[in-house]
Amino acid sequence: MFGNIVAIAILVAIVVGLALLTRRAWRAKRGAWLKWGGAILAGLLTLVFALVVFVAGKGLAAMYIPTSEPAPNLKVEGTPEQVARGKYIAYIGCAGCHGTKEEFPLAGGFDLAADIPMPIGSLVSANLTPGGVLKDRTDGELFRAIRHGYGKDGTVLALMSLMPYRQLSDDDTKALIAFLRSQPATQTQTLGGDNINLLGAILVGAGMFPAPDPVNKNPITAPAKGVNPEYGKYVATFGECRGCHGPNLTGTPASAAGDAIPDPRPIVSTWSRDQFVQTMRSGVKPTGQAFPQGMPWKNASRMDDTDLAALYEYIRSLAGK
Ligand code: HEC
Ligand code: HEC
């Protein structure tokens, strides 16, 4: 943040300098060429730099000004059932970013910004064990982080705010908190968090990253578990398929955040349910071709049979099958 303030201050100084230069050129007594050419050139540069300052400022404001409502006042019981359920979802949903080699404990420490093609700063996954950020977070603050994507100080969590966990049921969100608290306390060098640079601020300010979904303040209940499209959609939510392949799995175009992601419906509807389950568990398609790197099939391979079957029914239903 300090570096960003210095950078903004330098940019503002450049804008002022250019504005003064513009005025000076405009007042030049010697020759129309210098007067017009100089004033237009310096004037344009002033505008360009002023625009950069404005957009970067907008991005920094979005990142660093607290905008959240107070965290809810709630207490998670931490029953064995909650811990088990939370562990299941965490293994599918959270371990990929917060786990060490995608495993427990969720001690974090990975810079997710390293995967973004542009150098925007760092977005380091948090240490979600009692030895990390958990020790000074209330259950309500954790609930707000998972459901709404806000940190303890009420500022936006850049990456979490884009994740689909705001659609997780209240029960599943509480189960996750129960599981996180049940982990062994693990000390790490960093607790994680966001540290975007000026380029990141400019890209955020210019709206180059997808805007988070609106906050849902109502209680959320999950559809009953069963092999049907409705429950399958819920699986596709916490399984992150909808996060990458689009809310209705129609695929997503390339953006500042990464390459285009294909529409999985046509290919899945040519597979039987068994072939789908087999593919998701092994990472190898029925043709013998492996999923490319970008497709995190290992998360899906941890789903139980009912969840994978429901996922299949959901994808088929989207393909009109
Ligand atoms: C795509 C990677 C990714 C996934 C998946 C992910 N996280 Fe995060 N998480 C992050 C990053 C990065 C941060 C640091 C802040 C930010 O950029 O959002 C973070 C921060 C957090 C925080 C905020 C800690 C604090 O400071 O208060 C919580 C809580 C959290 N994650 C919980 C979860 C849970 C629970 C899941 C699974 C349901 C999950 N995360 C899945 C990347 C991820
Ligand atoms: C992190 C982003 C990401 C997530 C999460 C994700 N996918 Fe993918 N998926 C990809 C990418 C990238 C590809 C392949 C790109 C390529 O072929 O180069 C892919 C490929 C696929 C394909 C093969 C498409 C084809 O034409 O060969 C299927 C099927 C698929 N995903 C289904 C799923 C399902 C089901 C889930 C949820 C369990 C899921 N994906 C979660 C990124 C993702």
The whole-angstrom separation of Cα 34 and Cα 36 is 6
Mean pLDDT of the chain: 93
Q: How far is CA 283 from CA 275, 290, 301, in A?
A: 11, 6, 8
Are the CB atoms for 229 and 313 separated by under 8 Å?
yes
Q: Can you tell me which residue has the tokens 């660093």? A: 64
Position 54 scores a pLDDT of: 96
Q: Can you tell me which residue has the tokens 């009953």? A: 224
Q: Which amino acid is at 184?
A: P
Among 107, 87, 88, 89, residue whose Cα is nearest residue 97: 107
For residue 298, give the ligand nearest its CA: 2
Mutational test site, ligand 2, from 240, 295, 311, max ligand atoms within 8 Å of CB: 295
**pLDDT for residue 213 is more than 90:** no
Residue 208: pLDDT band (50, 70, 90) is confident
Residue 254: pLDDT band (50, 70, 90) is confident
Report the pLDDT averaged over residues 40-64: 95
2 CA distance to ligand 2 centroid (A)?
A: 39
- Provide, rounded to the nearest whole percent, the portion of the chain with pLDDT above 90: 82
Report the pLDDT averaged over residues 192-210: 92
The whole-angstrom separation of Cα 108 and Cα 157 is 15
Ligand 1 atom at minimal distance to the Cα of residue 161: 18
Residue 224: pLDDT band (50, 70, 90) is very high
